[in-house]
Amino acid sequence: MGPLVAAMMEYERGVPQRINHFLKVYSFAKLIGEQENLPAAVQETLEAAAVVHDIGIRPSLVKYQSSGGNFQEIEGPPIARELLARLAFPEDRIERICFLVGHHHTYQDIDGDDYRILVEADFLVNLYEEKTDKQSVLKVRKNIFRTKAGTKALNDLFALPE
């Protein structure tokens, strides 16, 4: 995953907040995927999607002066596709990663462990970065978190009662 991480850091050059964000989401996603024993191909898709998931923020800010999730979901996939193709990711892998980039703010119809864990990892980081209050964190746990490892990470992060 090193070359993709390096390319994404270059893409986000000068924006340490977004570089830190994707590195954290990537770490949580990798850990949760490993703990949930994902098949190797799904794990790789998850990790790559975590690295590039917010790739649509930069163009959304330029085009719409907004980083709204809906803009990101439109702007992200084509740029992700270009980057992944340049790094010689296989076509079927690129397809799924771009789907995940385009849906990571959509929480209904989560259709796979890669999708589920990407959403959980992004929440783990966003709940902290946005200083979310404990009541809201508990609500997110109930509504979003489904994997054992993701829930454990959330409970540990915020010292939640089991």
Using CB under 5 A, list all residues that contact Fe ion. 54, 122
Please identify, using beta-carbon distances, which residue of 71 and 159 lies nearer to Fe ion.
71
The Cα 75–Cα 54 span in angstroms is 10
Q: Which two tokens stand for residue 148?
A: 């054992």
**Judged by CB, which is closer to Fe ion: 23, or 42?**
23
Least distance to Fe ion from the beta carbon of 104, Å?
7
**44/122 with CB nearer Fe ion:** 122
| Residues 101, 80: Cα–Cα separation, whole Å | 8
Shortest spacing between CB 3 and Fe ion, in angstroms:
21
Taking the least distance from each CB to Fe ion, the nearer of 39 and 140 is 140
Chain centroid to CA 81: 16
**Spatial separation of the C-alpha atoms in residues 146 and 52, rounded to whole Å:** 23
Min separation Cβ 122 and Fe ion, Å: 4
To Fe ion, the closest distance from the beta carbon of 74 in angstroms equals: 16
Residues 6 or more apart in contact with residue 140 via CB below 8 angstroms: 123, 127, 132, 154
